[in-house]
Amino acid sequence: MTSPRNGAAGSIYDLGYRPYEGERLGRAYAVWSLYFYSLRAVFGLGRSMGSKVFPIGLTVIALIPASIQLAIAAIAPADLEFIKPEEYFSFVQIVVVLFCAVAAPEIIGRDQRNRTLPLYFSRTISRADYVSAKLGALVVALFCVVALPQVVLLLGGSVATDDLLGDLADHIDRMAPIIAGSAVVAVFMGSMSLAIASMTPRRAFATGAVLAYFVIFSILGDILVQTTTGDFQQFAILVSPVSTLNGAVYWIFNADLPVDSTLSKANLEGGLYFVAAVGYSLVAIGVLYRRFLRLSV
């Protein structure tokens, strides 16, 4: 605030603003950065304690069945398999659903809520890049959450025996299905929950919507399988996201379905679960891209 001087003319002083002339790292780096920071945001890193509680807590809970199995293996001499590898996902599926319900609104809702999307879209990264980075972050996060306990179980089981390398060599063929199964789960749940969460900026709504989708459609799918017969019954199971994923995982592990479960009742050809999972993911990804490409900010 300058005091007014009679008859004084105004001046503008050069306080040293200079345009930036240095190196610019380009679009790829920008996309990578967005991905990396979104990934960190999923686990609440770089934020307050409150936002770490849920994701890290749920990851820990996902490890519990593996820990129990390892504890038993360490104590009991025999090769007891309490949790079969192909079953692991069905044990922790509720945890993964909760993880998605909390994480998806966190990374896709914040920018809409705070109206910072124009800041992103007016930079070198394209709208498609934005979606890809966010999707990549959630999928990678989910992959870690789902794969980690299984890998721990695999390695830990071998460590618990007397012959580490030998046991590992015997069981190493499980590694590929673990990776593949976790990848399918991660892509499916990541894309579906992001697609749903992107519909509304309000966090509580988005969380509720993701939860409601998984819970209601799972109930629905199961009811339909129990209630119908024939061809319809077979395909009805695909209504349930959880059962679809379970089926795909079992198929990847080439394992037998548990007796008297909804999956065995549906009696659908294994590979179709995988196809359906991929199909759902593609549709969700398509919806996600379309939404952001057409969004007016």
d(CA 57, CA 52): 8
- Joined tokens for residue 255: 């394992």
Q: Check binding of 159 to other proteins (CB under 8 A).
A: no
Q: Check binding of 287 to other proteins (CB under 8 A).
A: no
DSSP per residue, 41-77: HHTTTTS-THHHHHHHHHHHHHHHHHHHHHHHHHH-S
Measured from the CB atom, the residue of 60 and 216 that comes closer to other proteins is 216
Measured from the CB atom, the residue of 3 and 254 that comes closer to other proteins is 3
d(CA 5, CA 242): 75
Q: Of 40-48, 62-70, 130-138, 219-227, which segment contacts other proteins by CB under 8 A? A: 219-227
Q: Return left, alpha or beta for 258; rule: phi > 0 is left, psi -120 to 50 is alpha, else beta.
A: beta
Q: Check binding of 1 to other proteins (CB under 8 A).
A: yes
Q: Where are the alpha helices (DSSP H) in the chain?
A: 26-42, 50-75, 88-113, 117-121, 127-160, 164-171, 175-197, 203-227, 230-236, 241-252, 262-266, 270-294
Least gap, CB of 7 to other proteins (angstroms): 5
Amino acid letter for position 11 = S
Q: Of 5-13, 24-32, 110-118, 134-142, which segment contacts other proteins by CB under 8 A? A: 5-13
Q: Of 59-67, 190-198, 223-231, 259-267, which segment contacts other proteins by CB under 8 A? A: 223-231
Q: Check binding of 285 to other proteins (CB under 8 A).
A: no
Least gap, CB of 295 to other proteins (angstroms): 16
Other C-beta atoms lying within 10 Å of the C-beta of residue 162: 7
Binding positions for other proteins, 189-218, rule CB under 8 A: 204-205, 207-208, 211-212, 215-216
Question: Applying CB under 8 A, which residues contact other proteins?
Answer: 1, 3-8, 204-205, 207-208, 211-212, 215-216, 219-220, 223-224, 226-230, 232
